[in-house]
Amino acid sequence: MTEQNIKVVSWNINSIRIRLEQLKKIVTELNPDIICLQETKCENDKFPLASVQELGYKYVAHRGQASYNGVAIISRVQFKEIIEKDFCGKSDCRYIGTEFNLGTKKKSVKLHNFYVPAGGDEPDINKNPKFKHKLDFLDEMYQHMKAQIADDQYHVIVGDMNIAPHVNDVWSHRQLMNVVSHTEVERSKLLEIISKHNFCDVLRYYAEEDEKVYSWWSYRNRDWKKSNRGRRLDHIWITQNLLEHYNDHYIYQTARDFERPSDHVPISITLQVSNIT
């Protein structure tokens, strides 16, 4: 962390043990102070802690299980507290939060890292239990964030939300409006979390209304750049009291061209913390 700024990166790494080298590249290229990872696909006792700490991230919070899901926050900034919660009665490791002290008067900042269920293929809760799980998760996520922001602290919310809420967060609203990740019910639930809690959706807030914004490109596309059929599944939200501390944000599309890439690319936000008083 520089004297002035702190950079937070969020990335669905799609297996931390497979993509340690790609993580090293991101550290070299972006030099983040904090990295939030989703889909680590790694049990806690097999998490590559030593390798992560060798990259300069002394403080590590992770929740994982074999082969699926998993979230982690790796940081150069010391944690004040680690926040853990299970959703929908499942221990499927889809959320972890941390609290930091930042700024000249050590104001408390809470960082929330989510991996929302993908929801399967059929957008019908009666036919597809995975889709019902996703909608139930969003309902619990709403209540969790309502409780968290009641303290009027600074909050940063990141993660793979598996929903592209805006019409220009997908390559074709018309063709994808009945496809899981862009259905009306998913978009409405996610937008309700954002609007009712007065979060700023950073990647959309700082984009033009008609601008296409993507963070994910399917492995099915042989040439992802040429087809450019992307979706914005990855998000950064901040509470309104952090808007004045916003410096910039970035979508690191270069990572989609890595050897053995994740289908998601890292996204980042830089905040000016020296004036958090």
pLDDT, position 273: 84
- Of the pLDDT bands very low, low, confident and very high (cuts 50, 70, 90), residue 1 is low
157 pLDDT higher than 80: yes
121 pLDDT higher than 60: yes
Q: Write the CA distances from 149 to 12, 110, 197, 198, integer angstroms.
A: 25, 9, 8, 10
Task: With respect to residue 191, please indicate whether it lies within any of the assigned structural domains.
Answer: yes
Section 225-248 average pLDDT: 96
pLDDT, position 158: 98
Phi, psi of 194 (to 5 degrees): -65, -50
- Note whether 99 and 148 are within 8 A (CB): no
Position 122: which residue type?
E
CB atoms within 10 A of CB 252: 17
> What is the CATH number for 182?
3.60.10.10
Q: List the beta bridge partners of residue 155.
A: 110
Mean pLDDT taken over the chain:
95
Task: With respect to residue 177, please indicate whether it lies within any of the assigned structural domains.
Answer: yes
pLDDT, position 234: 98
Please state, for a pLDDT cut of 90, what percent of the chain lies above it. 92
Task: With respect to residue 173, please indicate whether it lies within any of the assigned structural domains.
Answer: yes
4 pLDDT higher than 60: yes
Instruction: Report which of 10, 2, 8 is spatially closest to residue 109, judged by C-alpha positions.
Output: 8
Task: With respect to residue 277, please indicate whether it lies within any of the assigned structural domains.
Answer: no
Task: With respect to residue 22, please indicate whether it lies within any of the assigned structural domains.
Answer: yes
Task: With respect to residue 106, please indicate whether it lies within any of the assigned structural domains.
Answer: yes
CB atoms within 10 A of CB 149: 18
Instruction: Report which of 74, 28, 101, 52 is spatially closest to residue 276, judged by C-alpha positions.
Output: 101
* Three-state DSSP string of 212-257: CCCCEECCCCCCHHHHCCEECCEEEEEEHHHHHHEEEEEECHHHHH
220 pLDDT higher than 60: yes
Q: Write the CA distances from 200 to 37, 95, 211, integer angstroms.
A: 21, 20, 17
pLDDT, position 221: 87
Task: With respect to residue 207, please indicate whether it lies within any of the assigned structural domains.
Answer: yes
Strands (E), 13-75: 34-38, 59-63, 71-75
Q: What's the pLDDT tens digit per position in 164-209?
A: 999 999 999 999 999 999 999 999 999 999 999 999 999 999 999 9
Q: Report how far residue 62's alpha carbon sits from residue 213's, in angstroms, rounded to the nearest whole number.
A: 29
pLDDT, position 3: 56
12 pLDDT higher than 80: yes
In terms of residue numbers, what domain contains 148? 5-272
What is the token pair recorded at 19? 């993509």
pLDDT, position 145: 97
Radius of gyration of the chain (CA): 18
Total number of domains constituting the chain: 1
Task: With respect to residue 120, please indicate whether it lies within any of the assigned structural domains.
Answer: yes
